[in-house]
Structure 1
Amino acid sequence: MTKHKFFLYPKDVDSFGFDWGRLALTVAPEVNGAERFSGGVVDLPSGEGHARHNHPGSEEIIFVISGEGEQMVEDENGIPVTKNVGPGCTIYVPESRFHSTKNTGHGPMQLFVAYSPAGPERALRDLPDFRLVPPGI
């Protein structure tokens, strides 16, 4: 494990590649020793997104860096709430709530996501379309 990497760009770390896009973890226990949360940059090509899912035991913050999309988060009654989102929007996903994101714009969509506590990103390695993408690719 590499510790004390305080300044990281997504191009400097392994990425999780999927048919729908990519996640570059720039903060995580295995990346730089973060203990209480993890996070990184998600890139979604136009028309792509990740399916409805949840993170049992973890909260998530999604910050839209660029692009436009449709974000769904279930409310406390399990009813989906869907909004159009764009640059500067912060989405809070409560612990274990189902949510999904889709890029509805004409160009790429980029997000910063953070999980607390760290760990939900580990389950992504079990998805059938997972592939590890080396830095710089």
Structure 2
Amino acid sequence: MVKDKYFIYPKDVSAFGFDWGKLSLTVAPEVNGASRFSGGVVELPSGEGHSRHNHPGAEEIIFVISGEGEQMVEDETGNPITRKVASGCTIYVPESRFHSTKNTGDGQMLLFVVYSPAGPELALRDLPDFRLLPPGF
């Protein structure tokens, strides 16, 4: 666990690094004991994004802190709905639905993501481009 479990900056925790960006978990059982949800900051460089995926048994909230991009979320029949999103937009991803995000802007796109229940983000460790980045990296 981090030194101060109530006030956490992304630079204070290790991050999940990928070819498309990184996820710094700032709320999770292993970070501060959160048990009903987990979350953190996703950084997507310009032109990058994460491909279509889902989190079986979990819902997700994505909040666009800064930047702009395209977000896809499948509807209840499996049809993809794609929208342009920018800072201030909240995206709701229902349980087990496929979704993807791509940064279409010139600068970095920052997102805050929340998973409920906690844990589906741990499956990201199994991706071939996963690497654990030390705090501050």
Whether the TM-score (by the shorter chain) exceeds 0.5 is yes
CA distance in 2, matches of 1:78, 1:35: 30
What are the equivalent positions in structure 2 for 1:30-69 lying under 5 Å apart? 30-69=30-69
Deviation per residue, 1:76-107 (Å, 9 max, x gap): 00000000000000000000000000000000
CA distance in 1, matches of 2:63, 2:35: 21
Paired letter, 1:23: L
Unaligned runs of 5+ in 2: none
Matching residue of 1:131: 131
8 Å Cα contact 2:65/2:87 also seen in 1: yes
8 Å Cα contact 2:62/2:111 also seen in 1: yes
8 Å Cα contact 2:44/2:110 also seen in 1: yes
The 3-state SS of whatever aligns with 1:51 is: strand
The 3-state SS of whatever aligns with 2:46 is: coil
Give the fraction of aligned pairs with identical amino acids, expressed as a percent: 81
8 Å Cα contact 2:60/2:115 also seen in 1: yes
TM-score (norm 1): 0.98
TM-score (norm 2): 0.98
Q: CA deviation at 1:4?
A: 6.2
The 3-state SS of whatever aligns with 2:135 is: coil
Deviation per residue, 1:26-84 (Å, 9 max, x gap): 00000000010000000000000000000000000000000000000000000000000
Matching residue of 1:94: 94
User: How many equivalent residue pairs?
Assistant: 137
Matching residue of 1:71: 71
- Pairwise CA RMSD: 1.0
8 Å Cα contact 1:39/1:112 also seen in 2: yes
Asked whether 1:27 is paired with 2:23, we answer: no
* Divergent runs of 4+, >4 A: 1-4
8 Å Cα contact 1:2/1:33 also seen in 2: no
CA distance in 1, matches of 2:9, 2:3: 15
1:98–1:83 CA distance, 2 compared to 1 (3 A): same
Matching residue of 1:81: 81
Unaligned runs of 5+ in 1: none
Deviation per residue, 1:2-47 (Å, 9 max, x gap): 5860000000000000000000000000000001000000000000
